[in-house]
């Protein structure tokens, strides 16, 4: 599963590819693990089983960014209380792409604790992004051929509108309008515009991230209907199979939902979007990957 994207034609738009992703991707080793741990693999291990979307949550510390899940710090696997820094995550992505140049990594950046979203993005822009050819940073949906061997930035942070150094060419695909969907929402899928700095937005994405539901309701109300009858989406469709609350840990949610996902029939050449998991296995990744062919 480390090189499955080599079989995707260069002409395919990335939003039309079905692929697996992970939620709170850096949380293999994390504080308050019952509530915060969402993965059992490192970033590099996730990429090798087929994952291509990673959800990276950060907090600014000095001029650097450390990975977090809410108020909980993420640590380097195998190292006791040594923070997993953003440069460690990027290094894993680059190492994977050097070994597998036909692939792409879709890197979703979010400020999750401490300071403002604008401050976090400024630190990212100044210290991690500039003059690095590994990144695809345009605010438009590219084709597969444009991004092979690259890290595609999906930006949930806000970049200051008045700052002239930020453009539609260097801040990534703008997902800063990502809504927090209440569990009482009648519709489980939100349609969210992709804002542009220069001109009117012409693109949007679909989002299902009903993370506040109970395991049974999450599956029955939000996940199962979208696997059995996926929406007709022209752009990105992010479908989160994840949730947690103060009773059920992410692992308990995953045990319930992932089991049912594996038993659900998926059809070839049907657009299911990007399925975002907690605790995925290679078998789970392969199931959605094979629908592309």
Write out 60-72 in H/E/C secondary structure: EECCEEEEEECCE
pLDDT in tens, 38-78: 999 999 999 999 999 999 999 999 999 999 999 999 999 87
pLDDT in tens, 105-142: 999 999 998 889 999 999 999 999 988 999 999 999 99
By DSSP bridging, strand 190-193 and strand 204-208 are antiparallel
Hey, what domains does the chain have and what are their CATH numbers? Answer: 4-292 (3.20.20.190)
Q: What is the mean pLDDT of residues 243-255?
A: 88
> What are the distances in angstroms from CA 229 to CA 38, 45, 277?
27, 31, 19
How much is the pLDDT for 247?
Answer: 81
How much is the pLDDT for 198?
Answer: 81
pLDDT in tens, 2-29: 999 999 999 999 999 999 999 999 999 9
The 3 state secondary structure assigned to 70-112 is CCEEEECCCCCCCECEHHHHHHHHHHHHHHCCCCCEEEEEEEC
Six-digit token string for 134: 């590994």
Short-list 173, 228, 237, 229, CA closest to 209: 237
pLDDT in tens, 137-156: 999 999 999 999 999 999 99
Whole-angstrom distance, CA of residue 215 vs CA of residue 200: 39
Whole-angstrom distance, CA of residue 18 vs CA of residue 14: 9
How much is the pLDDT for 179?
Answer: 93
Backbone phi and psi for residue 19, each to the nearest 5 degrees, phi listed first: -150, 155
Whole-angstrom distance, CA of residue 3 vs CA of residue 5: 6
Where do we find the tokens 């909980």?
72
Confidence of residue 185 (pLDDT cuts 50, 70, 90): confident
pLDDT in tens, 189-220: 999 999 998 877 778 999 999 999 999 999 99
Whole-angstrom distance, CA of residue 21 vs CA of residue 56: 11
Helix (H, G, I), strand (E, B) or coil at 118: helix
pLDDT in tens, 265-291: 999 999 999 999 999 999 999 999 999
How much is the pLDDT for 244?
Answer: 82
User: Angle CA(107)–CA(238)–CA(170) in degrees, nearest 5?
Assistant: 35
Six-digit token string for 74: 């993420």
Span between the terminal Cα atoms of the chain, in Å: 14
Cα 283 versus chain centre, distance: 19
Confidence of residue 99 (pLDDT cuts 50, 70, 90): very high
- Asked if 83 contacts 57 with a C-beta cutoff of 8 angstroms, the reply is no
């Amino acid at each position: 599963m480390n090189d499955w994207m080599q079989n995707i034609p260069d002409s395919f738009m990335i939003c039309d590819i079905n692929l697996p992703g992970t939620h709170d991707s850096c949380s293999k080793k994390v504080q308050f693990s019952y509530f915060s741990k969402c993965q059992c693999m490192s970033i590099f291990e996730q990429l090798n089983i087929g994952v291509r979307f990673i959800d990276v949550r950060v907090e600014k510390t000095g001029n650097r960014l450390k990975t977090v899940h809410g108020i909980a710090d993420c640590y380097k696997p195998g190292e006791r209380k040594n923070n997993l820094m953003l440069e460690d995550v990027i290094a894993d992505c680059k190492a994977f792409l050097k070994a597998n140049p036909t692939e792409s990594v879709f890197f979703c950046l979010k400020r999750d604790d401490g300071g403002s979203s604008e401050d976090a993005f400024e630190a990212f822009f100044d210290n991690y992004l500039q003059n690095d050819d590994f990144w695809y940073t345009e605010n438009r949906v590219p084709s597969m051929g444009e991004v092979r061997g690259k890290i595609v930035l999906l930006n949930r942070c806000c970049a200051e509108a008045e700052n002239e150094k930020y453009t539609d060419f260097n801040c990534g695909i703008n997902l800063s309008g990502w809504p927090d969907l209440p569990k009482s929402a009648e519709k489980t899928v939100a349609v969210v515009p992709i804002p542009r700095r220069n001109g009117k937005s012409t693109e949007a994405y679909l989002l299902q991230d009903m993370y506040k539901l109970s395991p049974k309701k999450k599956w029955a109300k939000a996940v199962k209907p979208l696997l059995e009858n996926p929406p007709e989406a022209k752009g990105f469709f992010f479908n989160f199979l994840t949730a947690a609350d103060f009773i059920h840990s992410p692992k308990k949610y995953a045990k319930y939902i992932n089991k049912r996902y594996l038993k659900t029939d998926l059809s070839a050449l049907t657009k299911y979007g990007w399925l975002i998991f907690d605790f995925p296995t290679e078998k789970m990744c392969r199931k959605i990957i094979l629908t592309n062919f």
